[in-house]
DNA sequence: AATATATTTAGCAGTTCTGCTCAATATAAA
DNA sequence: TTTATATTGAGCAGAACTGCTAAATATATT
């Protein structure tokens, strides 16, 4: 049986793959992963050569694609990696190509 | 032990994720997959609403990222899906986030 | 309240991407 | 060799993306 793929899921795949298209955004996800799954905007921005507002915008793209979830804590913003979404959306799409693909 | 990640692999990841960023290109890969792994440029272009040269360019992006391999046969060009590269490059990157990630 | 800290928003310039139309090329068939 | 078929290339316009600087906002500290 093939899994139903509604417009919502198609949109999710699009948002996620679009977000993953930029090297800096992929690096942001990795940095957060290596640092235990969450980091503040400042900790993230400090690790990149580009200007802080540039990182802010990458963070926004990641947040809009729901690969990151943000939480305000006092004056910092903590970004948490939505690892489950990252894996389920990408692997979900890639499954169409997997050896035992569900055709 | 973490896998060594040379500039080449980083470039491969970038090319592949960039190629996967566009919905039409993802659809092209799926269409070829469902049709058994290879199709001519014309068969592919016929399945899309956009103008043929537009599809041609998407095919070029996919070929440059080596997700498709092209072969000239008489006056047609057969595009073959490089499923192994698709899976190895994407899963290779995603593995950093997998449950038992090799940190 | 004044100041410092953390982060985002606004807005601009340059680049890249997408899709189109109108050729151009290459091979096959008549 | 003329004509039809299959496909790509050139070049343009508009949209989207990226990165920057300067300014705004929001919270904490003094």
Q: What is the pLDDT of residues A60-73, one digit of tens each?
A: 999 999 999 999 99
Query: What's the confidence (pLDDT) of residue B66?
Result: 98
Whole-angstrom distance, CA of residue A15 vs CA of residue A81? 16
pLDDT digit string, tens, across residues A47-102: 999 999 999 999 999 999 999 999 999 999 999 999 999 999 999 999 999 977 55
Query: What's the confidence (pLDDT) of residue A8?
Result: 87
Query: What's the confidence (pLDDT) of residue B97?
Result: 98
Query: What's the confidence (pLDDT) of residue B8?
Result: 87
The answer to whether A38 touches A80, Cβ cutoff 8 Å, is yes
Q: How far is B76 from chain A (nearest CA, A)?
A: 25
The tens place of each residue's pLDDT in chain B, 103 residues long, gives 556 668 889 999 999 999 999 999 999 999 999 999 999 999 999 999 999 999 999 999 999 999 999 999 999 999 999 999 999 999 999 999 997 755 5
Q: Which domains does chain A have, with CATH numbers?
A: 7-96 (1.10.10.10)
Interatomic distance B54 CA / D12 C1' (Å) = 14
User: Which of residues 8 through 37 in chain A touch B, CB cutoff 8 A?
Assistant: 10, 13-14, 17-18, 20-21, 23, 26, 29-30, 33-34
Query: What's the confidence (pLDDT) of residue B11?
Result: 96
């Amino acid at each position: 049986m093939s899994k139903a793929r509604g417009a919502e899921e198609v949109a999710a795949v699009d948002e996620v793959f679009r977000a993953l298209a930029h090297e800096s955004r992929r690096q942001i996800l990795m940095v957060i992963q290596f640092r235990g799954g969450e980091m503040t905007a400042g900790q993230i921005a400090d690790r990149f050569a580009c200007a802080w507002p540039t990182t802010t915008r990458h963070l926004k793209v990641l947040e809009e694609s729901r690969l990151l979830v943000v939480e305000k804590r006092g004056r910092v913003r903590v970004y948490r990696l939505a690892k489950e979404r990252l894996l389920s959306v990408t692997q979900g799409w890639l499954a169409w190509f997997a050896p035992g693909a569900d055709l």
